[in-house]
């Protein structure tokens, strides 16, 4: 797949304020916000996507397998990241900040082999300042082989706080 890298001039953080929704991601791609010069998670010196100017807008709508979203701040969206479909597998959601007026930060419906690590949801990059979502941090249904979090000392753990509904909402069914 392709890689989307960033090199926005000026002093960060760099916020892209949208007035319409992003197109769905329908082919393998790596969106690498960590490529932005001077990228820093703790100070939130990173590329941000703000959907405050969009009515009923979602952040990244993944409709493909093999999609990576790394190092982006997503605010003011319905769903920060949504994976919705049986064939949309092998995705990586890593080192993102998803907060402020988000209904559900990460929503997975029928996705398999999804890895969600190193994200701050409902909290700022410093891990302390509350910037709550209005719903769940991570919701999953009809999915299998999910990796959510990991070794905190390696930076793989997610920090979830201040979410109005719950941190995890996972619906498990068997056949």
The closest of 61, 62, 33 to 48, measured between CA atoms, is: 33
The closest of 85, 86, 90 to 65, measured between CA atoms, is: 90
Report the pLDDT value the prediction gives residue 175, as an integer from 0 to 100.
Answer: 36
Rg (CA), the chain: 15
The string of DSSP letters for 82-94 reads: EEESTT--SEEEE
Report the pLDDT value the prediction gives residue 56, as an integer from 0 to 100.
Answer: 76
Query: For residue 22, what are its two tokens?
Result: 């992003």
Give CA 56 to chain center in angstroms.
17
Query: Running along the chain, 175 residues long, what does each successive block of 10 average in pLDDT?
Result: 92 90 95 95 93 86 95 92 86 93 86 92 83 79 86 85 63 44
Report the pLDDT value the prediction gives residue 172, as an integer from 0 to 100.
Answer: 47
pTM of full prediction above 0.85? yes
Q: What are the beta bridge partners of residue 148?
A: 116
> What residue ranges in 11-158 does DSSP mark as E strands?
14-17, 29-32, 47-50, 60-62, 67-70, 72-75, 79-84, 91-94, 97-99, 104-109, 114-117, 120-121, 138-141, 147-148
């Amino acid at each position: 797949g392709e890689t989307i890298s960033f090199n926005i001039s000026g002093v960060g953080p760099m916020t892209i304020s949208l007035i319409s929704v992003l197109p769905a991601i329908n082919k393998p791609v790596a969106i690498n916000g960590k490529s932005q010069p001077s990228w820093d998670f703790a100070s939130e010196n990173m590329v941000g996507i703000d959907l405050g100017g969009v009515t009923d807008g979602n952040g990244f709508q993944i409709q493909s397998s093999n999609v990576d979203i790394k190092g982006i701040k997503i605010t003011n969206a319905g769903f920060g990241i949504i994976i919705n479909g049986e064939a949309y597998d092998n995705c990586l959601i890593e080192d993102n900040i998803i907060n402020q007026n988000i209904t559900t930060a990460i929503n997975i419906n029928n996705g398999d082999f999804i890895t969600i690590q190193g994200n701050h949801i409902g909290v700022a990059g410093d891990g302390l300042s509350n910037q709550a979502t209005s719903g769940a941090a991570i919701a999953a249904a009809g999915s299998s082989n999910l990796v959510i979090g990991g070794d905190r000392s390696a930076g793989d753990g997610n920090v979830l706080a201040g979410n109005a509904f719950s941190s995890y909402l996972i619906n498990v069914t068997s056949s």
